[in-house]
A and B are shown apart, each in its own frame.
Chain A
Amino acid sequence: MTVKAGDVIPPWEMPSVSAARMRTMAAILRDPNPVHWDRKAVAALPLGLGERTINQGPLGLSYIVNMLHAWAGAGSICKLIMRFPQVVLDGECVVARGEVTEITFEKDDKNPKGSAHLAHCSVRLEHAERGVLLEGSAIVKV
């Protein structure tokens, strides 16, 4: 794969964020926060979100991972930094997007096969009406 700065990463879509998956995730993570499994707890917050559950941060981040894996392959991600300006709600359609901002070369003197080109990427998770929900950067071996 030839990659250069300015390349657009093919987007990855989650057509409908699932409340059932949030519950499974909460159980595995032993996450006591009811915003992930109790719609009434979310409705009681002064956020105006209604009776929706809020996706776990790592799940929103995982959509970015899925986009990068589909583009550069499993195990290609070296670094991810994500911020969470808005919540992701159950039932929403969200799309992971990204662009390559820079290419650098990582030399491994001990293992030439381990040397790699690194794509520095700007990444985000978008909702059609609410805009950017998550944003950050990634470094990916390409």
Chain B
Amino acid sequence: MTYSVPDVAEIEALAGHRFTGGHYTIAHWENFLLTECTGAELLPNGMVHPVALFHLPIEGAGTSIAEMFALGQAESDLSIMIESYEWDMFIPLQEEIRYSVSGGIISAERRANDQGQDYDRLVFCFEVATPANALAARTTIIWHYTRNTL
């Protein structure tokens, strides 16, 4: 199956896109299940396992994995490849705290891999702040939207 590749200008125009922003609270049950998925024991004193730093910023910023796939005009859910995740942790996250989240796309460009196949590289950045407006975490997600490789 051949997909039409989005115009490069459409991809580049995504740079600067901002999500609506919002809030996210990790409930105890959610931290319990997330932590169990990692194979670790619950952390002490209601501390949230850092694995939450993937979905908490996404959901809190008012977006979703599905919307992020759609923004880059992913050919399918299977066409997304991870380049890297970067997590800066300034204050450990706690259960039942209502964090403020902002985020957007800070870079969007077309590149070619070593085989000469085009892909679109999108860089998402999110910031998570405490109710006192202290920066608790910053996350950067870099995904490749592969084109006609499946």
A residues with CB within 8 A of B: 14, 21-22, 24-25, 28-35, 41, 45-46, 56-59, 61-63, 65-66, 69, 74-75, 77-84, 136
Residues of B within 8 A of A21 (CB): 36-37, 39
Any A CB within 8 A of the CB of B9: no
* Distance, CA A94 to CA B150, complexed state (A): 27
Inter-chain contact B65/A63, CB cutoff 8 Å: no
- In chain B between 23 and 57, which residues have their CB closer than 8 angstroms to a CB of chain A? 30, 33-34, 36-40, 43-44, 47, 49-51, 53-55
Residues of B within 8 A of A30 (CB): 55, 59, 64-66
Inter-chain contact B39/A66, CB cutoff 8 Å: yes
* Distance, CA A57 to CA B54, complexed state (A): 9
* Distance, CA A75 to CA B37, complexed state (A): 19
Inter-chain contact B84/A33, CB cutoff 8 Å: no
Inter-chain contact B43/A58, CB cutoff 8 Å: no
* Distance, CA A136 to CA B140, complexed state (A): 14
* A–B pairs, 26, beta carbons within 8 Å: A30-B55, A32-B66, A32-B69, A34-B77, A34-B78, A45-B150, A46-B150, A58-B54, A58-B85, A61-B85, A61-B87, A62-B37, A62-B49, A69-B43, A75-B92, A78-B90, A79-B87, A79-B88, A80-B50, A81-B84, A81-B85, A81-B87, A82-B86, A84-B82, A84-B83, A136-B84
